[in-house]
Structure 1
Amino acid sequence: MSENIYDLAHDLDKGIRETNEFKSLQEAYKNVNADEEAKTKFNRFREIQVTIQEKQMTGQPIDDETVDVAQKVAEEVQQNELIISLMEKEQAMSTIINDLNRIIMTPLQDLYEVEQ
């Protein structure tokens, strides 16, 4: 292979940024940040997600108060059209990233595949 693998990764980064899905996600994120109410709700939603993830990663139990706050914040963001749109765009982008990850992992899967 004449091309450096990291150069290929940077090309992939550039390609991702040029997709319609990424551009739509950028626009939706910009729209959320332009609306103070949506921005505040979205930031609270992200904060509670991080809190829960940190607790899960460190093996800490997720207390009832955290669950209650998470449910309340989730209900609030589900009522905001700008945030709903952003989450839909995130899901589309996530699908692409998952597909790319599957493709990237294929050489390792092929290597370790057990022939029967």
Structure 2
Amino acid sequence: MINIYNEINSLEVAFRKTPEFEALEAAVKVVKEDEEALNLFKNFRKVQIDLQKKQLNGEDILEDELVYAQKAAQLAQQNTKITAMLQAEMNLSKIIEEVNRILIKPIQTLYEEF
């Protein structure tokens, strides 16, 4: 009998060796080494997380919070190191989406028979 967790752990090791993961890892390092970029990104992430928490809790998001979030996003996107990191993350996300499609395929096949 196969141990799915051993297989998934092997997949994780392979995932870390992909050029896309290595590119993201390098881009994260570049951002972390630049104090301005790091602070911009930390603020951007904090604003995102705070808004997501409010949404999950069913709280209204105020207009000034949205304006602040947009400004934080704009500042982050103007930093070339952050945009390079976000682009690397999007490239890696494509692999994750494909792996997810492959993992879900057996379930989809089961339901196609109905």
Alignment TM-score > 0.5, same fold: yes
Q: State the distance in 1 between where 2:112 and 2:49 align.
A: 35
**How many residues are treated as equivalent by the alignment?**
114
Unmatched segments (≥5 aa) in structure 2? none
Q: What does residue 77 of structure 1 align with?
A: 76
Amino acid corresponding to residue 79 of structure 2 in structure 1: N
The DSSP-based 3-state class of the residue aligned with 1:3 is: coil
Amino acid corresponding to residue 109 of structure 2 in structure 1: D
TM-score by length of 2: 0.94
Q: Which has the higher helix share?
A: 2
TM-score by length of 1: 0.92
Q: Deviations over 1:46-68 (max 9, x none)?
A: 11111121122222221112101
Amino acid corresponding to residue 112 of structure 1 in structure 2: Y
What is the aligned-residue identity percentage?
Answer: 39
Q: State the distance in 2 between where 1:99 and 1:32 align.
A: 27
Q: State the distance in 2 between where 1:7 and 1:104 align.
A: 15
Dislocated runs of 4+, deviation >6 Å: none
C-alpha deviation, 1:39, in angstroms: 0.1
What value does the CA root-mean-square deviation take over the aligned residues?
A: 1.2
